[in-house]
Chains A and B, each alone.
Chain A
Amino acid sequence: MNTAPPAALLASFPDADSLLAAARRARQEGYECIDGHSPFPVDGLAEALGFDERRVVLLAGAGFVGGFSLALLAQWWMNAVDYPLNVGGRPLAAWVAFAYPAFELACLAGAVVGIAAMLLLNHLPRPGHPLLDVEPFRRASQDRFFLSIATVDPRYRPRRTEAFLRDLGARQVLEVPP
């Protein structure tokens, strides 16, 4: 047992519902630096922890629109402005034709931007996160559900918080090493 204060407390729960309940309680208690960890996306958990954003979706949409217009513009400039050539008597600015690759590239841009946004906002990749050094936490990607409260949380009190977690129904409460 090292003397330094832990980085966080980690409470493990048997199933998603108890984790969800625990998360709600913790919020009511006023805890702020809390997070849930589950082997699959638990509906409502993030919202229960106060998550409320659509940035990823919006950015993906922006990527789609941006990609489309950029591709359209680039094609028009290349084929109609920079080197206009009579190609089979077709119009120089063949928007209908340009729309096809533009749409495909828009799809690419939308997907890439969306995923990139997700990774950036999630601060991923981060293979070295201390949680990953906690032996039991390995179950978090398999069959266990965890609630973590960081020690930096203003409402954190070593004894009280641990007790709080226990009477939330946590199977065990662990200390995350700093």
Chain B
Amino acid sequence: MSTGAEIFQPITVQVADIALARRVRRRWWLALALSGAATVAFVATVVWLLATGVGIWGINIPVNWGLAIVNSIWWAGLATAGTLISALLLLVPGQQWRSALNRFAEAMTVLAVAMAGVFPILHLGRPEAVHWMLPLPSTLGVWPQFRSPLTWDVASLLAYLLVSLAFWYVGMIPDLATLRDRAGGARRRRAYNRLALGWRGSALHWARWRQAYRAAALMAVLAATLHSGGAMLFAAGPSAAWHTTGLPPYLLASGVFSGLAVVLLLTLSLRAAFGLGAVITGRHLDIMGRLLLVAGLAFLYGAATLAFGAWYSGDPRQAQFLVERAVGAHAVTTWAAMALMFVPLQALWWRRARRAPAVLAAVALAVVPGVWLDRYVLVLGGLQRDYLPSRWGEYAPTAAEWALFGGTLGAFAFLFLLFVRFLPLVAMFEIREATA
């Protein structure tokens, strides 16, 4: 009979040693330096923004929400995919496929939500008063206004961030224990032991842990679903372009779509970087491909439904929004988005393509910016062509806005690299469980 040693040792060693390796590859340092530089630029831009105000952006009346909101809902959308892969699949009985991916998918979620949360604060006219959105007692005696979809957004972003953070950490505890037990030096051992809360794999601990972990997973899924990428902020307003119940599912679908693409990219790069072919097998890629295809088609259906609804409503302004989207100021953006999102995607109908990392990477690399462009058109569409033609206006993002967007990308990469370096990026115990 095969003992644990033979089955479990390889995966343990392989994953654990990524975090425990004494010497780090130059590539990692290079990536860290680059993303670090972007992060510094981000911080500098933020300082500039806070010093001079949102006047340095291209926003105006009517387009008073610009890149900041686009980025926010884009990041929030990415996050939902991580939750889906890890939490939702955890609740689906009898599948272990997720085990290889869930850990870094969750990390992606946590970081993405954090990035999504940065923008709403930066975009305030008076960021110094942001705390007025929280129910803090004061001598003013005035409270937040809870009918506002923006207050909903504050609550849901906050909840979503903390829930996914907790879910991620709790799931990591046993693997941190593994790192502790394989760590060489006493200091690292102590550090990982603290992080692992002294986990000792007790049967009772496992039992209670499982209950808590599943509960957290459920909460994460609920939070993510309801938040649906901040769609309420748009759907609840009277703007003809946004005011539809179809918007939240639309944003959710596109969010999952883009998020899956990002997870796929992370999967491929980690797999290549650390030779995790044994852990992340072709089967994983195949399923990821299928999921991406399904999500893409779901989103396509959602988009089609919205368009049909707009046309079928008979409301001239909704129709006009469609036309504006198709042939208006941002027609190029619209069609670019459509092409990027749906044309390369079709390759995934073929099994061979789904198992070819290069193809998968290409598709994912097209989808992610595609969805961002779609968000851009959506946000502008609702504002630049509102009810009164006299108030129709245009908008062009400024350098400051682009810098902030790039900055969050950099910060995301920076933090993710640290995660890869110091934390178990694959759920080892789950793979053990699966292989046992």
Contact = CB atoms under 8 A, between A and B. Distances in A.
Asked if A and B touch directly (CB within 8 angstroms), the answer is yes
Contacts of A3: none
Contacts of A14: 1, 3-5
Interface in A29-57: 35-42, 45-47, 49, 51, 53-57
Nearest to B16: A142
A101 B134 CA distance: 12
Interface in B147-195: 147, 151-152, 154-156, 158-160, 162-163, 166-167, 170, 174, 177-178, 180-182, 190, 193-194
A131 B204 CA distance: 15
B207 A51 contact: yes
B142 interface: yes
A98 B135 CA distance: 13
Question: How big is chain A's contact interface, by range?
Answer: 35 or more
A140 B205 contact: no
B429 A39 contact: yes
Given A108-B158, A143-B9, A39 B216 contact: no
A53 B204 CA distance: 10
Nearest to A142: B12
A40 B436 contact: yes
| Secondary structure type dominating chain B contacts | helix
Contacts of B203: 23, 35-38, 42, 45-46, 49, 51
Nearest to A145: B4
Interface residues of B, number: 72
Given A104-B223, A124-B197, A142 B232 contact: no
A168 interface: no
A127 B195 CA distance: 9
A156 interface: no
Contacts of B232: 100
A39 B178 contact: yes
Interface of A: 14-16, 23, 35-42, 45-47, 49, 51, 53-57, 60-61, 64, 74-75, 78-79, 82-83, 85, 87-88, 90, 94, 97-98, 100-101, 103-105, 107-108, 110-112, 114-115, 117-119, 121-122, 124-129, 131-132, 137-145
